[in-house]
Amino acid sequence: MKNINNVVVRWVIGAFFMLSAMQGYAQVNILVATTMESRNDGILATNNLYAEFSSDASWTVTDARNTLGALATVPTPDFSGYDVVVIGATYYGLAPDEMATLQAAIDSQASTSFVLFFDGCCGNGGVSTENINNLVSVVNNTFDPSVIGGTGAFVNNGIENFVLTASPLAASFPGVIRGGAYSPFTGVPDGNVIYRSGDGNDVGFIIPITESVGACVFSMADVSPFNAMAYPSNQGNIGAAFVDAATNPQGSCFLRSTPLPRSVTALNWWSLLVSMMLVFAGVHRYYRNRSCNANS
């Protein structure tokens, strides 16, 4: 019964975010926060990441580049109130306090979705290991149940990553993202995998709201899609995909990777419908009050 109740709660929460997305579909709010980088290729990847997620003039984008990591000299940005929060970490990892702030924001659904590009390459003094450990920690704290075993052997081959069309969660995403030097994930359920490399490694996956302890989370242990070689092929495809996943009521953040358990089908669906209607009424009242306050 506890598992059934958890599923119902997640469905109601998912319904809330779906209805919120319907209310504000044309008003997309994005935060792009990155580590401060010192190497030219890291700086270029950071700037391309920002360019990708600010490419549509209708999006409202908050620029928080160079606010994270050991070299940053400014406070950690607030991760609350966005449709999409993008975090990029190339040669420097997030500090423990920054990771704690990020995890708390995910757990509390401070924003609808979090897109994590934590690079699995190289690094200064082996900081790529820190990046990977941070990423696996966030994912396992967010996935319910935690299943990610970690990452496999480092790969550096500039390979194309193909969308796993069999995944029920892949609809929002372009067919191919070109990458480079990365660390593949191990233990990810096939239904959550979005991108699989040409040599069979899992390089990108998503945890929808319905399967998360908090917000929707996409993870990729590679920043190479934004480097000088790969980004020309990826430009204009990545940002729009994640906006769709987080703001389209039929987007990947609001779907499920697997069918509901059979026991859930025996629930009183009228009760679930009433709960969703109450959620909708609350969302409608919130936006109506906000509109009245804005006009007063």
pLDDT digits (tens, 9 = 90+) for 228-277: 999 999 999 999 999 999 999 999 999 988 754 544 443 444 454 555 56
Q: What is the CATH number of domain 24-254?
A: 3.40.50.880
Per the CB < 8 A criterion, the answer to whether 188 and 218 are in contact is no
17 or 83, which is more confident: 83
Res 63 pLDDT > 70: yes
Comparing 4-18, 58-72, 119-133, 226-240, which segment has the lowest mean pLDDT?
Answer: 4-18
Beta bridge mates, 185: 151, 202
Q: Cβ contacts of residue 282 below 8 Å, gap of 6+?
A: 16
Tell me the percentage of the chain whose pLDDT exceeds 70: 73
Helix axes 2-23, 269-295, angle to 10 degrees: 30
Cis peptide before 184 (omega within 30 of 0): no
Distance, CA of 119 to chain centre? 15
| pLDDT at position 81 over 60 | yes
Domain boundaries, the chain: 24-254
What average pLDDT does the segment 81-97 reach? 94
pLDDT, average across residues 153-166: 81
- Position 47 scores a pLDDT of 98
Q: Residue 296's pLDDT is what? A: 52
Structure-block tokens of residue 285:
């009242």
- CB burial of residue 287 (10 Å; 0-12, 13-18, 19+): middle
The per-residue pLDDT for 127 is 53
Mean of all residue pLDDT scores within the chain: 81
Least confident of 37-41, 222-226, 255-259: 255-259
Least confident of 74-78, 166-170, 180-184, 268-272: 268-272
pLDDT greater than 80 at residue 145:
no
pLDDT tens column, 11-26: 444 444 444 444 444 5
